[in-house]
Chain A
Amino acid sequence: MADGISGASGTGRGYLAETGLRSWAFSLDHKRIGVMYLYTTMFFFLVGGLFAELLRLKLMTPGPGFVSDKTYNVFFTLHGALMIFLFIIPAIPSALGNFFIPMMVGAHDVAFPRLNLAGYWIFLAGIVVVIASLVRPMDTGWTFYTPYSAKSGAAVTLLSFGLFLVGMSSILTGLNFIITIHTQRAPGMTWSRMPLFIWGMYATSVIQVLATPVIGMTFILLAAERLFGVGFFDPAKGGDPLLFQHFFWFYSHPVVYVMILPAMGIISEIIPVFSRKPIFGYKAIAYSSMAIALAGFLVWGHHMFVSGMSSVAAVIFSLLTFSVAVPTGVKVFNWIATLYRGSISFESPMLYALMFIFLFIIGGLTGPFLGSLGTNVQLHDTYFVVAHFHYTMMGGTVMGWLAGLHYWFPKMTGRMLSEKLARRAAVLILIGFNVTFFTMFILGYKGMPRRWAEYPVQYQTMHIIATVGSWVLAAGIIVMVWNFTRSLYRGEAAPGNPWGALTLEWQTASPPPVENFEVIPTVTEWPYSFGRKGAGDA
C-alpha cells in the first residue's frame, strides 16, 4: 500500500490541537465524533459492569440477601439493557468505526459529516430519555416481552422512546458508513483492496440499516399498546403476544452480528500485522461477513423454540441457525491459518486478539447446543444461556473491542500504552472471565434457571466461585482503565506507525491531522502483503 510518512512522530497535537467544549460538541470531524462516542459508550460499559458486580454480589447467597427480588429484576434489566443498547451495539461501530473508516478508506471524512454529528446528538438525547425513565426503573429484562411489558408499572413507554432515538442514531451512522464506503474511497482502493475491518463494518451497517427500523416500529407499537391499549399483542383483544417476539427477534438476532462482525473485523486487522503474514483467505473473510449479515436475518426464531410456535417452523429455524455457523467457522479457520508459521509477536493488541479467538470458540461451540431443538428445551433460560452469550458477547465482542483500543490507542492519542500494565490487565481479565463464566455453564447444565433472584442452596458453591471470579475480572478492568488514563497524559510519544502495519490509517501522523492526510494517498496494493512487498493483490 502507499508508502506514507510512516516515520512521522506524534509530537504534534493533530486533530486534538483545538481545545474547549465547543470545539468538541460542534465538531464535524469524524475523529472527534468517534472519540465522543468512545467516552459515552465506555461510560456505560463501566456502569453496566457495576450492575453486574451487584448482581453477582446478590447471588452469593441463595436467600433474599441485601436486595429485594424486585430490585434484583431492576438490576439485571439495567445491566442487560445498558450493556446491549448503550454499550455493545454502538461501541465499535459508532466509536472506532467513525474514527477509522474514513482513515482506512483514505478519505478526509465520512460522506455526510453533519448527519454524523446529528447522529451523536440524537444518541445523547436518547440516553437522556433513557435516564429519565429511571424514575420508575425497568424490570422487564432487556427483551421487553409482552404482555408483562405492556402492564409493568415501570416507565416502559419513556424507555421505548429513548431506545427509539438510540436506534435512529444507529440507522444514521450505518447509512453514513455505507455511503462513505461506496463513494469516498481513495483512488486505487478497489473493493478487493479494502481492509477487512471495512468489510466487517460494511456488513454491520447493512444490518443496522435493515433491522433497526423494525425494532423502532416494535417500540412504537409497544408504546401504543401502553398508551391506547391497541391490543396488537393482547389475546383478549384478538392480538398475539408472539407477534411481539417475532418483531423483537427479527431485530435482535441480526443485531448480535452488529455486535460481533466489527470485532471480527478488528481481529482480521490485528492477526496479520502481529504475525507478519498476509491474511489467509482474504476473500473468504470478506464475503463471509456479508453471508453472516444476510443469513442472520433468517434465524430469529431460534429464540422462540419454547414459545409455542409451530414445530415445523421450529425445525426450519433450527436448520437455518446451523447454516450461520459455516461462515463463522470459515473466519476462525482463516485466522488460525494466518497465525500458522507466522512470526508472531505478543504485544497487547495481539494478546487480546488471541483471547478473542479462544473465548469466542468456546462461546461458538456452545451455540449449537442451544440451536438444536432437543437440547434447547433442557437448557432454555438456564445459566447455560447466560454463559453462552457472555462468552460470545464479552469474550468475543468486548475482547475484540479491547484489542482494537490497544491497537489504535497510539493513533488516536499520539501516545503509547504501557505494555507492562496492559499484560497484567489481560491476565487478570482472562482468569477472572473464565472463572466467572465457565462456572455458569456448569450451573446451567445442572439446571439453575436464569433471572432467578433466589435459588436452591445446592447451587451456592458455584455461585460463590462465579462471584469471586467477577472480582478478578473487575480488577483487570480497573488496571486497564488506569493504563488508558495514565498513558493519555504520560505515555511516551507514539510514532506514526508503531506496529509496522500497512493499512492507510497508519500512513499519517499520530494523532492524525484534522483532514487525516496531507495528500490523499493512491492505493496500489492490498494492505496485507507482509514480507512480499510489491507482490500485488491476493
Chain B
Amino acid sequence: MHELGGAEAAHTAGGPETARLGIWLFLATEVLLFGGLFTAYTVFRMQDPALFHAGSLKLNRMLGAANTVVLICSSLTVALGLAAIREGKIRMLKVFLGLTLLLGAGFLGIKAIEYSEHFARREFPGTDLFFSLYFVMTALHAFHIAAGLAVFSGLLWLAAKGKFDAGYHTPVEVAGLYWHFVDVVWIYLFPLLYLIG
C-alpha cells in the first residue's frame, strides 16, 4: 500500500510518547464536544429548575446506578488488561478485553431497557427540555460506548493475531485512555440527570 520500505518506521508515528500526546489532545476535543451540552444543561436548568426536578424524578435510578457499576467495572478490566500485556501476558489481555466487551454491551443493553420504559410512558426527545437533554446527552454517550466496543473488538482481533507484547502495546494504552474518559463522562451524567432531582 505504501512504498516506503526501510523508512516504514518513520511512518508509524513517533512511538508511544507521540501517541499518548495525540490521545490526550483528542480527549480535549471530546471535553469541548460534551461541553456544549453541559452548557445547555446549565442554562436551561437555571431557567426552569422545577421542570428539571420533576424530570429527574421520572428516571429509573436503579438502572442508572447499575450502569454506573457496570461501567466502572469495565474501566477496571481495561486497566487490568493493560497491566497484563505490560508483563507480556497476552492470554490475560485477551480475557480482559473480552470482559470489557461484555460489560460495555451490558451497559448498552440496560440503556436500551431504560429507553423502552420511557417510550412506553410516552417520554421522548422533544417531550420537554429535560427529556430532550436527557436523550441527546445519553445517546451521544452511548454512541461513544459503541465506538469503544468497535475499537476493543479490533484490539481483540489484533491480540489474537499476536500483535502485542510487553514491548509494544501502545494501541491498548490509547484505547484504555479513551475508555476511561467515556467512563468519566458518565460519572458526571449520572448525578446530573438522575440524582439532582
Q: Please tell me which one of the listed residues A214, A218, A230, A243 contacts residue B43 in the complex, with CB atoms under 8 A apart.
A: A243
The verdict on B30 contacting chain A, using a C-beta distance below 8 Å, is yes
Interface residue tally for chain B (C-beta within 8 Å) = 41
Query: Which of B16-24, B60-68, B78-86 makes up part of the contact surface?
Result: B16-24
A interface residues (Cβ-Cβ under 8 A, vs B): 18, 23, 26-29, 108-109, 111-113, 115, 171, 175-176, 178-179, 182-184, 209-214, 216-218, 220-221, 224, 228-232, 237-240, 243, 247, 514-515
Q: Please tell me which one of the listed residues A23, A213, A224, A232 contacts residue B129 in the complex, with CB atoms under 8 A apart.
A: A232
Q: Please tell me which one of the listed residues A113, A218, A230 contacts residue B11 in the complex, with CB atoms under 8 A apart.
A: A113
* Residues A183 and B126 in contact in the complex (CB < 8 Å), given A113-B11, A175-B29: no
The minimal Cβ–Cβ distance linking B46 to chain A, given in whole angstroms, is 11
Q: What 12 additional pairs, Cβ within 8 angstroms, besides A111-B18, A214-B33?
A: A171-B29, A175-B26, A176-B22, A179-B25, A213-B30, A217-B32, A224-B132, A224-B136, A228-B126, A228-B132, A231-B129, A238-B48
CB <8 Å contact, B22 and A228: no
CB <8 Å contact, B14 and A111: yes
The minimal Cβ–Cβ distance linking B52 to chain A, given in whole angstroms, is 11
Q: In B22-41, which residues have CB < 8 Å from any A CB? A: 22, 25-26, 28-30, 32-37, 40
The minimal Cβ–Cβ distance linking B30 to chain A, given in whole angstroms, is 7
CB <8 Å contact, A214 and B35: yes
Query: Which of B1-9, B175-183, B184-192 makes up part of the contact surface?
Result: B1-9
The verdict on B44 contacting chain A, using a C-beta distance below 8 Å, is yes
CB <8 Å contact, B29 and A109: no
CB <8 Å contact, A210 and B28: yes
CB <8 Å contact, A213 and B11: no
Report how far A115 CA is from B171 CA in the complex, Å: 14
Report how far A179 CA is from B140 CA in the complex, Å: 27
CB <8 Å contact, B124 and A221: no
The minimal Cβ–Cβ distance linking B7 to chain A, given in whole angstroms, is 5
Q: Please tell me which one of the listed residues B10, B17, B125, B136 contacts residue A108 in the complex, with CB atoms under 8 A apart.
A: B10
CB <8 Å contact, B132 and A514: no
Report how far A23 CA is from B2 CA in the complex, Å: 8
Q: Is the interface of B mostly helix, strand, loop or mixed?
A: helix
B interface residues (Cβ-Cβ under 8 A, vs A): 1-4, 7, 10-14, 17-18, 21-22, 25-26, 28-30, 32-37, 40, 43-44, 47-48, 51, 124-126, 128-129, 132-133, 135-136, 140
CB <8 Å contact, A28 and B2: yes
Report how far A238 CA is from B55 CA in the complex, Å: 14
Report how far A212 CA is from B26 CA in the complex, Å: 12
Q: Please tell me which one of the listed residues B21, B25, B28, B40 contacts residue A232 in the complex, with CB atoms under 8 A apart.
A: B40
CB <8 Å contact, B7 and A515: yes
The minimal Cβ–Cβ distance linking A144 to chain B, given in whole angstroms, is 15
Q: In this complex, what residue of A is CB-closest to B2?
A: A28
Report how far A158 CA is from B135 CA in the complex, Å: 21
CB <8 Å contact, A112 and B124: no
Q: Please tell me which one of the listed residues B13, B26, B44, B124 contacts residue A238 in the complex, with CB atoms under 8 A apart.
A: B44
* Residues A27 and B25 in contact in the complex (CB < 8 Å), given A217-B36, A217-B37: no
CB <8 Å contact, A210 and B29: yes
Report how far A416 CA is from B7 CA in the complex, Å: 30
Report how far A112 CA is from B17 CA in the complex, Å: 12
Chain A residues within 8 Å of B13, by CB:
111-113
CB <8 Å contact, A238 and B7: no
Chain B residues within 8 Å of A112, by CB:
13, 18, 22
